[in-house]
Amino acid sequence: MKNNSMRKTGLAFGLLVAANTAFAMGQANADDKLAKREANRPNIVFVMSDDQRWDTFGCYGRTDVLTPNIDKLAASGVAFDNAYYAVAICMPSRTTTFTGRYFSDHQCGFTYPYNRTLPAKEFADSYPAQLRAAGYRTGFVGKFGVRLEDLPQTVAEHFDFYTGISTTSKKGPHFPADDKKLQHIYRKDRDPKERTLIKGDSMIHFLETQPEGQPFCLSISFDAVKNDRDSDMYGPHVALFKDKPMWVPKNYVEGENEKLPQVLKDHARGVYLHRDRTSTPQEYQRRTRRFAVQGYTVDQQVKRLMDKLKEMGVLENTVVIYTSDNGRFHGSQGLFDKAILYDEAMKQPLIVFDPRAPKSRRGSRVDAMVSSVDIAPTILSLAGLEVPPSMKGRDLGQLLAGTQDLSKWRDTVLMENFFIQELLGKGRKKGVTPDAQNIELIANKRSYRSRGVRTERYKYFAYFEHDPVIEELYDLKEDPHEQDNLISNPEYAAVLEKLREKTRDFHARATD
């Protein structure tokens, strides 16, 4: 009995040792797989310009501009030909880009009632916050542009390196605060015309201070090509466009555009800005050259970026994404500004360079309908992370790889504009609450808040706070410049009803 008991004890002990050994080996394999996966996580650089219209790049067809390095990104990566902003004005667009949420969902914009401060707990779902929590070193350079709760503390929590300018803090903060090189880059006596170069210097400094072995995500946001003053007009680049004749789009309007809805003619900021800035051919040409100069200076920072990544030996594992925060009319439609739902404001330049992709995908063009809400989930998916339920966009990964079943992809994107100039700054009435002023302007038909959808062929949107609702409908196959509003054309009645329904459904899902 004693010997039998001893044998059973020995057998049990052997099984326990074997189980522990197997568990340890399994854990070691799992740890090894995790380490390999983390070691192979790509670096991600996200570059955003300001107000840079989609058709102001060589890779999108322009021949009078100089964007050779951005064009190289497209030639070596994937360019999207049907990308559209969910909202086309800076603060809400940037919030959408960070969070993957629609404007009607996050409501972080300029004017009441869509002027919400984004809570810190919601920014925790943004792509930089999620990446930092997963072990990435995160950096931000340039125009932050989001009204964020407790901004200094919140950005410090989610960025290791930050040299941002925001709506709520014009002076920073900048950190690491004790970084002498950073202090030198942002010294007060520097020529303001070097503003784009300053951001490029900060971008390079982030890369120079990057530890080996840790993945990074750097977001760079240039003020150019927005500025109509001398800032960003870097001297050596000005001469490249001196007296150069610039392209004029077919829907450029000299003077006033009588086709615009009356509510826009009477109240939209883009109308009087066009009158002041682009309503004559001479002024159109002068400002087009200025913006081309700024675009070239940004392009040179892209060259600096790519050269530095190559010098560091990390280019082959770094995804670079290039886009802008919104487009700009610049005389098209008899408008100057942005936000209104015509394509000059809404169509988005979007280029993704992934050096890990097969050579067969280099220089690819994608026609699928994509939205700016897709950027954040795509960045997280590139890093191998799960997408938070708060994000309403879709991962573009299979489109980038060329493996997406397009029958299962969306055929429609949602677009929104809730900006009202009258409720901003000097337009605010003293002694009147924002709510009361907003109610009054809606009642008196001065609102031009709008929402709608775009498919590959059609565009529909409505100024929904009017009674009756003001609507616009365009057949973009027959009328790519949106000149013939078909809203009263009986031949398009079925199309109109379908797009109205799509708008209702998409908006309901966006705010779910």
Domain parsing of the chain, residue ranges:
42-405, 415-510
Q: Which long-range contacts (CB under 8 A, 24 or more apart) does 177-185 make?
A: 179/205, 179/209, 181/205
Q: Could you give the C-alpha distances from 319 to 64, 104, 110, 178, 245, in angstroms and in order?
A: 28, 30, 32, 30, 36
Would you state the pLDDT for residue 18? 53
Would you state the pLDDT for residue 328? 97
Neighbours of 155 (CB within 10 A): 25
> Which of 14 and 325 is assigned the larger pLDDT?
325
Contact 404, 249 (CB under 8 A): no
The whole-number average pLDDT for the span 241-262 is 97
Query: Is the per-residue pLDDT at 198 higher than 70?
Result: yes
pLDDT in tens, 386-400: 999 999 999 999 999
Query: Is the per-residue pLDDT at 252 higher than 90?
Result: yes
Determine the Cα–Cα distance for residues 350 and 378; give it in Å rounded to an integer. Answer: 12
> Could you tell me the pTM of the whole model?
0.92
Over the chain, what is the mean pLDDT?
93
The whole-number average pLDDT for the span 280-292 is 97
Give 31-85 as a DSSP string. HHHHHHHHHTPPEEEEEEESS--TTSSGGGT-SSS--HHHHHHHHHSEEESSEE-
Neighbours of 475 (CB within 10 A): 17
Query: Is the per-residue pLDDT at 12 higher than 60?
Result: no
Determine the Cα–Cα distance for residues 225 and 502; give it in Å rounded to an integer. Answer: 34
* Fold classified for 42-405: Alkaline Phosphatase, subunit A (3.40.720)
Query: Is the per-residue pLDDT at 473 higher than 50?
Result: yes
Is 415-510 assigned to CATH 3.30.1120?
yes
The whole-number average pLDDT for the span 298-304 is 98
Would you state the pLDDT for residue 33? 46
Confidence of residue 229 (pLDDT cuts 50, 70, 90): confident
Give 111-129 as a DSSP string. STTSBPPBPHHHHTTSHHH
The whole-number average pLDDT for the span 173-183 is 91
Query: Is the per-residue pLDDT at 143 higher than 80?
Result: yes
* 470: Cα within 13 Å, side-chain hemisphere: 15
What crossing angle do the helices spanning 195-208 and 281-312 adopt, rounded to 10°? 10
Confidence of residue 512 (pLDDT cuts 50, 70, 90): confident
Q: Which of 192-196, 465-469, 480-484 has the lowest mean pLDDT?
A: 192-196
Query: Is the per-residue pLDDT at 166 higher than 80?
Result: no
Q: Which of 219-233, 407-421, 440-454 has the lowest mean pLDDT?
A: 219-233
% residues pLDDT > 90 (the chain): 87
